[in-house]
Amino acid sequence: MPALLAKVEQLQSKGILAGMLDLQRIILGGHSAGGRVAIENADPHFFPQVAASFGYGSHTMGTLLLGYEAGTILPLADSLPLLLMGGTCDGVIANNSDRYGITSGNATTPVIRTFQEAITGGRNDSYLVLLDGANRFSIVDQLDSTLDTPLLDFPATQPQESFRLLMGEIISLFIDTYVRQQPEASQLLEQLLNTANPLIKSFERK
């Protein structure tokens, strides 16, 4: 993470992004393991310039190979706004359940338990959004052909573009609400998540 933040500072000083970045309000976000890196590093004690984090298909379960007991959920700093998203057809999570010692076949349990157990909440700025029919790579515009993990995934039940557009809107409104402090964004985010949508299975906030 320090190397990435140093690179961002370099981009701020020269190139097409020079002078256009807000280095005091950095949002960490990612997919899968990248999302885990994002949510685990969103700790102002280590990186005071980080303002929020989000992850898709990410959780904090400890693997049995590293010596954790079955079903262990590792805690998060829980001091900044957090957006966790997952898909009900995430075959990678479902087919890797044995790594964590949990019941196989459930695509959302690790994500749900991370939201429920890794953070206390209480500020109403932490969200869990489950997308109905989304798989592990619904957030990806184009699959990396060098990966073998797509072989474990389940088929998405809705067009991937629809999921990507929805996730983009949720992430954007989340950032506008809690980092850019735009009052109208908060209302739009709540409206989006509370309005019946066939792509949204459920959402929680705490």
- Whether 12 is covered by a domain: the verdict is no
pLDDT, tens digit (0-9, with 9 covering 90-100), for 56-80: 999 999 999 999 999 999 999 999 9
CB-based burial of residue 97 (10 Å sphere; 0-12 exposed, 13-18 middle, 19+ buried)? middle
Average pLDDT of the chain?
95
- Whether 95 is covered by a domain: the verdict is yes
**Residue 204, token pair as written in the block:** 């929680």
| Predicted pLDDT of residue 144 | 77
**Residue 53, token pair as written in the block:** 């984090």
- Whether 188 is covered by a domain: the verdict is yes
Our count of domains for the chain comes to: 1
| Predicted pLDDT of residue 146 | 78
| Predicted pLDDT of residue 199 | 98
- Structural domain for 88, as ranges: 2-7+21-205
| Predicted pLDDT of residue 30 | 97
- Whether 180 is covered by a domain: the verdict is yes
User: Are 154 and 87 in contact, with CB atoms under 8 Å apart?
Assistant: no
pLDDT, tens digit (0-9, with 9 covering 90-100), for 6-31: 999 999 999 999 999 999 999 999 99
Among 43, 24, 41, smallest CA distance to 33 is for 41
- Whether 15 is covered by a domain: the verdict is no
* CATH number for position 47: 3.40.50.1820
| Predicted pLDDT of residue 32 | 96
Residues 49-79 as b or e (16 or more Cβ within 10 Å = b):
ebbbbbbbbbbbbbeeeeeeeebbbeebbee
* Residues in the chain, total: 206
| Predicted pLDDT of residue 147 | 76
CB-based burial of residue 141 (10 Å sphere; 0-12 exposed, 13-18 middle, 19+ buried)? exposed
- Whether 66 is covered by a domain: the verdict is yes
- Whether 14 is covered by a domain: the verdict is no
Query: Any alpha helices (H) in 26-72, and if so which ranges?
Result: 33-40
Among 125, 166, 131, smallest CA distance to 42 is for 125
- Whether 29 is covered by a domain: the verdict is yes
pLDDT at 132 over 90: yes
pLDDT, tens digit (0-9, with 9 covering 90-100), for 134-192: 999 999 988 777 777 788 999 999 999 999 999 999 999 999 999 999 989 999 999 99
| Predicted pLDDT of residue 169 | 98
Residues 162-176 as b or e (16 or more Cβ within 10 Å = b):
bbeebbeebbebbbb
pLDDT, tens digit (0-9, with 9 covering 90-100), for 84-100: 999 999 999 999 999 99
d(CA 200, CA 206): 18
CB-based burial of residue 28 (10 Å sphere; 0-12 exposed, 13-18 middle, 19+ buried)? buried
